[in-house]
Amino acid sequence: MAIARNQWYVAAYSEEVGEGLLARTICGEPLVMYRTGAGEAVALADRCVHRRFPLSRSNRDGDRIVCGYHGFTYAPDGACVAVPGQTRIPRTARVPAYQVVEQDSLVWVWIGDGTGDAAAIPRAPWLTSPDYVTVRGMEPLAARYELLVDNLLDLSHETYLHAGYIGTPEVAQTPITTEVDDEAGIVYVSRRMKDVECPPFYATSTGIEGRIDRWQDIEYHPPCFYLLHSRIAPTGVEPGPDGDDPRAFHVEVGYAIVPETDTTTHDFWWVARDFALDDADVSRFLHDSNRTVVLQDVEALDVLEKVIAAEPAGYQELSINIDTGGLAARRVLQRLTGAR
Ligand code: FES
Ligand SMILES: [Fe+2]
């Protein structure tokens, strides 16, 4: 499947964009990112118009970038403002500057045509809320982004791939419900488990002993934004009538599934929790455990990419009930890319 270009993509976490020149390829476009003195995040094409030298390997002069090869100098809007050896600056001396929106501690870019609608960017308020503490990271994936979409929309794989971390037998045994909001282009997948085993990931972090009710409510905003609202409570504890839920533990897991190239992906992940806010041990545990889980997926998906590259054309996979979320996601993605 093609990559949908006229879409917003997460290009970086806010803290990654600063003084330095950050190189990152998004949807096949090499970008250089940095932050101006006034605090604005900037994303320019990472290719000098002169002889293609990467601007990310160049130097800053205030808010400008001075190409490290022959000194073409660029302003944050991409315009070349100085060239060596002459005062006349060619009219075409400019690199593309990409539209950037920074919110919820995420830096989003629009690499498509025209101007993106910033109001269309999905939100993740937990990432900056004082009521939550977040751990996060990003892993490189040597596989196409569709494989990660498939993976995250079908959490039954937790039972097999993530046993001992977040997987228990009941995840794969419990049926899901799938809903698609066609107008908004959002896929919802829900798995509500009652009176089940508590996996180590949640037993250690919440301190719950004994059996739990475990909810996994997925919200996928194609192409790149994935939220997993996870609720863990001692068995039988229900939310109150107006949504108050003080005895439950809430974990907002999220991913940004961002194509780097056709066959490689940036796997941004985070885990935000509304409990043990001051407990550094819990933060460390959730960071390390989730990273391990992400790397288990990365390892599996890297293998799948190789399998796909080697298989004969026209190979047909087989889908069952657990795949309704992933199939719904593919349909929305196909619409976004104009693919059939
Ligand atoms: S390649 Fe950038 S100035 Fe020559
Ligand atoms: Fe996984």
- Ligand 1 pocket test, pick from 70, 80, 95 with the greatest ligand atom count within 8 Å of Cβ, gives 70
Q: Which of 21, 32, 44, 69 to mutate to test the pocket of ligand 1 (most atoms within 8 A of CB)?
A: 69
Confidence at residue 96, expressed as pLDDT on a 0 to 100 scale = 98
Residue with CA nearest ligand 1 atom 4: 70
Q: What CATH number did the domain enclosing 60 receive?
A: 2.102.10.10
**Cα separation values, 263 from 33, 312, 339, Å:** 22, 17, 17
Q: Are residues 209 and 74 in the same domain?
A: no
pLDDT surpasses 90 at 338 = no
Q: According to the model, what pLDDT value does residue 46 have?
A: 98
DSSP 8-state secondary structure symbol assigned to residue 243: S
**Confidence check: pLDDT of 102 > 90:** yes
User: Mean pLDDT over all residues of the chain?
Assistant: 96
Whether 1 is covered by a domain: the verdict is no
71 CB within 6 A, ligand 1 = yes
For tokens 């794969």, the residue is 172
Based on the fold, state whether residues 172 and 293 are members of the same structural domain.
yes
Q: 228 and 104, same structural domain?
A: no
- The domain that holds 220 is classified in CATH as 3.90.380.10
Q: Which ligand is nearest to the CA of 66?
A: 1
pLDDT higher than threshold 60 for residue 70? yes
Is 340's pLDDT higher than 60? no
Residue 282 has pLDDT above 60, yes or no: yes
Whether residues 180 and 291 fall in one domain: yes
60 lines ligand 1 (CB under 6 A): no
Ligand 1 in contact with 65 (CB < 6 A)? no
Structural domain containing residue 30: 8-120
In angstroms, how far is CA 288 from the centroid of its own chain? 18
- What is the average pLDDT across 223-233? 98
Q: Give CA–CA dist 2/335, Å, rounded.
A: 11
**End residue of a domain, out of 94, 120, 146:** 120
Whether the CB-CB separation of 10 and 224 falls below 8 Å is answered with yes
Q: In terms of domains, do 178 and 306 share one? A: yes
- Work out the pLDDT band at 18, boundaries 50, 70, 90: very high
Report residue 331's pLDDT band, with 50, 70 and 90 as the boundaries. Answer: very high
What is residue 243's predicted lDDT score, i.e. its pLDDT? 87
Gap from CA of 159 to ligand 2 centroid (Å):
9
Q: State which ligand 1 atom lies nearest to the alpha carbon of 48.
A: 2
Are residues 138 and 97 part of one domain? no
The reply to whether 149 falls in a domain is: yes
Q: Report the nearest-CA residue for atom 1 of ligand 1.
A: 51
Per-residue pLDDT, 339: 64
Question: In which band, very low, low, confident or very high, does the pLDDT at 117 lie, cut at 50, 70 and 90?
Answer: very high
Burial 39-77, CB ≥16 within 10 A → b, else e:
eebbbbbbbbbbeebbbbebeeeeebbbbbeebbbbbbe
User: Pick from 120, 154, 177: which residue ends a domain?
Assistant: 120
Nearest CA residue ID for atom 3, ligand 1: 70
The pLDDT of 167-196, averaged and rounded, is 96
1 pLDDT band, cuts 50/70/90, is confident
Q: Per the structure, how many domains does the chain have?
A: 2
| pLDDT score of 89 | 97
* Angstrom distance (rounded) from CA 220 to CA 178: 11
- Whether 192 lines ligand 1, by a CB cut-off of 6 Å, is no
Residue 3 forms part of a structural domain: no
Please give the average per-residue pLDDT across 161-182, as a whole number: 95
